[in-house]
Amino acid sequence: MEYSAHPTAVIDDGCTIGKGTRIWHFSHIMPDCRIGENCNIGQNVVISPGVVLGNNVKVQNNVSIYTGVICEDDVFLGPSMVFTNVTNPRSAVNRRNQYERTVVKRGASIGANATIVCGHDIGAFAFIGAGAVVTRNVPDYALVIGNPARQNGWMSEYGHKLKFDADGLATCPESGQQYRLSGHTVSRIA
């Protein structure tokens, strides 16, 4: 076995788990999901059928990742954050064929207790603040906070709020990486 799992974890047949991945206490990995290499799946996590996690994804405790969710490489899912998978759920109405797709792009972080309403993608290196409720797509590098979530700035790939000068340039204080703001788009330039 190339991954490690605590004895209390339930791992169903038909899932794929990459080398170096660790699965902690009381987690349930369901059939037909794909988990990449070097992921960390915290305690009491549920990963539903069809979910795809890239490499180096960190899933903190008490997170349920429902069918329709795709997380690219290096995504961070904070403690007790929530994904939904049906826009208009009703107990008496079966909508199992209506799960909506949600993509969390490379390097994005979702804070503790945040909620991502299905069908809304999270951009690369975006940062979703703790407790935020995301009801629309989030651009690459965007910082969003609140309920409903509203953009409150831009973040570097190292997780620092960027301060753009009059020319639309910013530098990450930790990495020294440079970014350009053009219209409503941020891109890394060095």
What the block records as the tokens of 53 is 């996690």
Q: Is the pLDDT of residue 54 over 90?
A: yes
Q: In whole angstroms, give the CA distance from residue 48 to residue 29.
A: 7
In a shared domain, residues 188 and 164: yes
Whole-prediction pTM: 0.96
CA distances from 155 to 7, 37, 108, 132 (A): 39, 26, 10, 16
Q: Are residues 140 and 162 in the same domain?
A: no
- Whether 52 and 82 share a structural domain: yes
State how many domains the chain has: 2
Verify that 141 and 187 share a domain, yes or no: no
What pLDDT sits at residue 143? 98
Residue 96 pLDDT exceeds 90: no
Q: Are residues 120 and 174 in the same domain?
A: no
User: What is the mean predicted confidence (pLDDT) over 19-23?
Assistant: 98
Q: Kindly report the average pLDDT of the chain as a whole number.
A: 97
Residue 97 has pLDDT above 90, yes or no: no
Whether the per-residue pLDDT at 49 is higher than 80: the answer is yes
Instruction: Summarize the confidence of residues 127-131 as an average pLDDT.
Output: 98
190 pLDDT higher than 90: no
Task: Answer yes or no: do 54 and 136 share one domain.
Answer: yes
- In this structure, the dihedral spanned by the alpha carbons of residues 122, 124, 126 and 132, taken in order and rounded to 10 degrees, is 20
Question: At 133, is the pLDDT very low, low, confident or very high (cuts 50, 70, 90)?
Answer: very high
Contact yes or no for 32/50 (Cβ under 8 A): yes
Same domain, 161 and 151: no
Same domain, 173 and 81: no
Query: Do 187 and 103 fall into the same domain?
Result: no
Shared-domain flag, residues 180 and 104: no
Structural domain containing residue 184: 157-190
Tens digits of per-residue pLDDT, 145-189? 999 999 999 999 999 999 999 999 999 999 999 999 999 999 999
- The pLDDT score that the predictor gives to residue 134 is 98
Handedness of CA 1, 53, 129, 26 (dihedral sign): negative
